[in-house]
Amino acid sequence: ACLDTCAAASCGDSYVEDGVEACDDGNADNTDACTELCAAPACDDGLVSGDESDLDCGGSCDPCALGLACAGDDDCAEGLCVGELCTLIANCADL
């Protein structure tokens, strides 16, 4: 497609190209409703997007593995987020 500026349409130009892009908000903010891939955030998009705490995990996606970033205990498969990293539960006092 050709825009009214005679530049070729592309992801990130703030114009949604029918049949190619689901959205195009013109920014590279992957935490909003439209990612830099011109698609909605997904748990398998290869980006830290939407409400994910790390790459394709945390938030509304599957919990993250040990050592990955977290915002809270629910983001972690082992159930403990310390210093913004998923950690093993060492003992009952950690609960």
DSSP, residue by residue, the chain? -B-TTSPBP-TTSS---TTT-S---SS--TTSSS-TTSS---TTSSS--TT-SBTTBSTTSPPBPTTSB-SSGGGBTTS-EETTEE----SGGG-
Q: What pLDDT does residue 92 have?
A: 67
Q: What pLDDT does residue 87 have?
A: 97
Q: What is the pTM of this model?
A: 0.79
Reported as a single tens digit per residue, the pLDDT across 4-34 is 667 778 999 999 999 999 999 999 999 999 9
Residue 63 has, within 13 A of its CA and on its CB side, a CA count of 16
Q: What pLDDT does residue 93 have?
A: 63
Q: The tokens of 10 are what?
A: 């592309």
- 1 pLDDT more than 80: no
Beta carbons within 8 Å of 71's beta carbon, 6+ residues apart? 53, 58, 59, 81, 84
User: How high does pLDDT run on average in the chain?
Assistant: 91
- 44 pLDDT more than 90: yes
**Contact by Cβ (8 Å): 67, 58:** no
Reported as a single tens digit per residue, the pLDDT across 65-88 is 999 999 999 999 998 999 999 999
